[in-house]
Structure 1
Amino acid sequence: MFNRELVKGSTSLLLLQLLHERDMYGYELVKELEKRSGNEFSVKEGTLYPALHKLEKQEYIEFYWQEQEKGPARKYYRITNAGKEMLDEKTQEWNDFVSVINKVLGRKKHGTAEE
């Protein structure tokens, strides 16, 4: 598992990316993060919902209720145009950050050690 602060710091970027691909509800976001990360990212409700609320307050995402055949309606989240712009900015920022860290560590672009 990764350092909790590293995961927490990248949660918004990861959520925006997933919601850029398709609308999802909270539990679905958690499961998709776990699946794609090989269970390295395990985001708890105490991290997920405050992050979603913050993104909503910043108008990067919005929600709607979707009726289900069985059970109660689900709260789905979707990315807004402002969220798509922020995703592009944050993705570039992340790539630049990783590039600089790799330079300091003496690694090539893809994280392999330079010889």
Structure 2
Amino acid sequence: MDQSVFKSLRFSETHRKEVHKKIKGPGTGEEEILISILQLLENERTGFTLSKKLRARGIVKFEDNEGHLYTALHKLEHKAYLCSKWKEDGGKYYRLTQRGARLLQKYESSSHQKDLLQPLIEVLQP
């Protein structure tokens, strides 16, 4: 692109911050991360596949820190929102439980979405 096209534009620091926020896009808040995990685990997936799918949604929280994702999955499993099983291929597969599916359904049909996920936000804390 011709470098002169944007030459006359001036950005304040506020504008600059807003642009950076938009570049980061959706999926950066903890609620969005949790709901993405629940949505993606409606189908059985390995942690590795899940991390790739999250990245495809623009969620980079677990990039260079995959252990944090597995810790969050373990906590969700401990709270009975997920279940896991080892398969013959050596992979551990995660999937929503009925409890997790009910929470996801309530979240997607509720106007008070943040209230539903608030008790689970702690699973994303290191």
TM over 0.5: yes
Within-5 A mapping of 1:59-70: 59-68=80-89
Corresponding residue number in structure 2 for 1:77: 94
Distance 1:83 1:4 in 2: 19
TM-score for both structures, normalised by structure 1: 0.64
Distance 1:86 1:64 in 2: 21
Once the 2 structures are TM-superposed, how far is the Cα of residue 46 of structure 1 from its aligned partner?
4.1
Corresponding residue number in structure 2 for 1:87: 104
Q: Which amino acid aligns with 2:80?
A: E
Once the 2 structures are TM-superposed, how far is the Cα of residue 97 of structure 1 from its aligned partner?
5.7
Distance 1:5 1:85 in 2: 24
Corresponding residue number in structure 2 for 1:111: none
Compare CA radii of gyration and give the structure with the larger one.
2
Q: Contact (CA 8 Å) 2:84, 2:95: kept in 1 or not? A: yes
Corresponding residue number in structure 1 for 2:79: 58
The residue matched to 2:41 in structure 1 has which SS? helix
Q: Which amino acid aligns with 1:80?
A: T
Q: Contact (CA 8 Å) 1:13, 1:91: kept in 2 or not? A: no
Equivalent position to 1:23, from 31, 44, 47: 44
Distance 1:47 1:9 in 2: 16
Equivalent position to 1:41, from 32, 56, 59: 59
The residue matched to 1:63 in structure 2 has which SS? strand
Distance 1:89 1:47 in 2: 26
Q: Deviations over 1:68-93 (max 9, x none)?
A: 2xxxx011001111110011122234
TM-score for both structures, normalised by structure 2: 0.59
| Paired residues, number | 87
| Cα distance, 1:30–1:57 mapped onto 2, change above 3 Å | same
Corresponding residue number in structure 2 for 1:108: none
Structure 2: gaps spanning 5 or more residues: 1-23, 114-126
| Cα distance, 1:4–1:43 mapped onto 2, change above 3 Å | same
Structure 1: gaps spanning 5 or more residues: 99-115
Q: Contact (CA 8 Å) 1:63, 1:78: kept in 2 or not? A: yes
Q: Contact (CA 8 Å) 2:33, 2:59: kept in 1 or not? A: no
